[in-house]
Structure formats: structure tokens, C-alpha cells
Structure 1
């Protein structure tokens, strides 16, 4: 029945109807974001060289979804991304970045801009842009998936939101660990 209503809302245009359905799916996923995620899986990925390994905990609301192929595949794709990201993520989301660290980066970017002799009004804009870019680089959900052949232009958050809309559940990447031989 949703399809018929979306088609009517789009004036018979199938492409617009698909867009309407996607927007409604994302809106209903946003409503679910506050619900508890007590089920899920820990996915792993070890690169072919054996020098990089990743563990990632992905949570959902029900065991039924946690055992589903799409959920398991999503968790594996996240692990693959973390292993292969050119700029490995440090935090799951930008909201997790501590204020002290964000301020330290802001000071570094500001000092750099001032060294280059930029005017004060330009410095503020440069600093905000640089901090925003840095946040996207260190936050997993903000990064574009490394497998651009399969997920061109899609961030990890986009993929998570699509799965949440498809399953009708709150999907959450709880934490991850990346191991590299010779580091840490």
C-alpha cells in the first residue's frame, strides 16, 4: 500500500515515487534510533597479507536480524573498510571525538593559517573547514567506503542507514579495534 501512496504522491512518476519511499524509510529509521540495541555480532577481517586485522561490534535490536545475511555482510564490509581505509578511523562517530582533541587540532590549524599570513577573517573559515575535514577523516561513520567499485560515494553511515531502513531496526556500530603488525 505504501508503494501505491508514494506513486500517487509523485504524480505517477516512478523515480520520484522511489525517492519518496526512500525518504520515508530514512524518517522511520530516525524514529528507531533511540531504541535499545542489545543483539548483534562481532565481525572480523584479516587482510590477505596477515599484517592487518579488524574486529567490529555491530548491534541491532533482535537476534533474528543479527543472524540475517545482510546484517552479517554489512558488519564484514565495515571491518573490510576499517582494515583498508587510507586514513584509518579512530572513532565511530564525530560526536565521540573528545573536545580537548578537537580544540588541539583547531589550535594547530589556526597556527598554520597564521604562519601563512592569512587575514583573521579568513583564518576562522580555514580553521573550521580543516577541523571539519579532519573530523570526517577520523570518524568511521563519516568515511566513504573503500570499495568504491561497489559503494561509490557512500559513507559507512549511508550504508548503516540503508540497512536500518531495510530491516526496520536500529543498527549501531558500537566499537572497533584495528590491529597492525609492528604498531602499538
Structure 2
């Protein structure tokens, strides 16, 4: 039976190395929870490299599209990498497809990451949450703690990279990207995306059939 490793330990190792969640968990299990040995193992496998690559320029890549069954939801996403060689790899193209599907399945997502959410949106969310009745009589310190937790949760709901990956809820979209950075040896970034919803923004006229028939009879 594999050693039980806490989610907190896995998260800490991921932050230290940039490797994927599952890779971190496996490394910790194999090292009996020894963080230094786990880091060494990840480096030997070339997995502890996502953070180091995250600042490198990404000017290549591709634009992927996805049309959901029924043709009522469509997505376009630009996924960038460093070289055209990686952009042509099947793994990179599959990553782009998975991200496009993720966007289609995440109607509340409007930004690539939390860092891209405008300050006015954050202030608006804070204003909404702080005005809720259940916080009115709370001590100020408790109120601020609850407010911070709710805001963080809301910002994650708006962020694509914070979402649980639809094909493996144990990891986030960012974890998925980090795993592919380690696999392909290049920085990979989601640049932008757009979601199309059929009829969105168009006012639909609700027609009452019985009233229509009645008006026809009278005329």
C-alpha cells in the first residue's frame, strides 16, 4: 500500500518545484515523505522545472477551437509555447484541445488567471460580500477572515487556471500545464480565450401561443 501523503505536503512540494501534483505525490510516497529526496527525484526525472521556465518568452503555439455537441457553445483559445517544434507535438495539441473543452465546461470563468482579474472587479466582489447580512454582527477579525476566504473562492471561480481539470479533478488546469512544461521542456502559457454562446446578448421574444391564436380569431 502506498504511503499516505497529506495534500498540504504535496502542495508545498509543487510550489517548491513547479512539478505536477501527481508527480509530487508519487515522489513523496517513494521517498517516505522526505521532501529533499522527493525534490532530488523530481529533478532527476526532469520534472522540477516548470517554475524556472515560466518566465521564458512564448511566441509560438496555436489557436484551438472546440464546438460542443449541439453547436450551441463554441470556444477559441490561444496556447503559446517557445518553439514551432513543440507547437507541432501531439501532446501540445492535445493540451490545447483539453483546455478548450475546459473553457466550454466552465461558464463562470472569464479570465486566464487570478493575476489578470482587474482591480475594479475584485473591489466589486469585496463590496458585495462585505454587505451580506451574515457578516454584519461578526467581530471585525472574524469578518475579515470570512471575507478573505470568500473573495479567494470567488476569484478562483473566475480564473481558468484555478479550475479543477475536468478529466482529472485531483489537479488544476495550472497543474496540467506544469506537467506539460516538464514533459516538453518549454514554457507554456494560455494567452487568451473567447467563449461563444448561441443567442447570447440577443433579447429573445417570448410569444404566448394561446394569445396569438386568440388574436387571429378576433381578426
Instruction: Give the TM-score normalised by structure 2.
Output: 0.71
Match of 2:30? Answer: 15
**8 Å contact kept, 1:113–1:126:** no
- Tell me the alpha carbon deviations over residues 100-135 of structure 1, each in whole angstroms, 9 at most, x when there is no partner: 110111111111156653222211011100110001
Kept after mapping to 2: 8 A contact 1:113/1:123:
no
> In the alignment, which residue of structure 1 is the partner of 2:192?
175
Task: Find the partner of 2:95 among 74, 77, 94.
Answer: 74
Q: 1:14 to 1:90 in 2, by over 3 A?
A: closer
Alpha-carbon deviations, 1:45-68, whole Å to 9, x = none?
A: 100110000000000001110000
Larger radius of gyration: 2
Aligned residues: 168
| Conserved? CA contact 1:140–1:156, under 8 Å | yes
Pairing partner for 1:43 from 37, 55, 64: 64
Structure 2 residue matching 1:127: 3-state secondary structure: helix
Aligned ranges 1:146-157 → 2 under 5 Å = 146-147=166-167, 151-157=168-174
- Larger RCO of the pair (alpha carbons < 8 Å, separation 6+): 1
2-structure distance, mates of 1:18, 1:72:
30
Q: Which runs of 5+ in 2 are unaligned?
A: 1-27, 32-36, 202-219
Indicate the RMSD between aligned Cα atoms, in angstroms.
2.1
Tell me the alpha carbon deviations over residues 57-80 of structure 1, each in whole angstroms, 9 at most, x when there is no partner: 000001110000100000000000
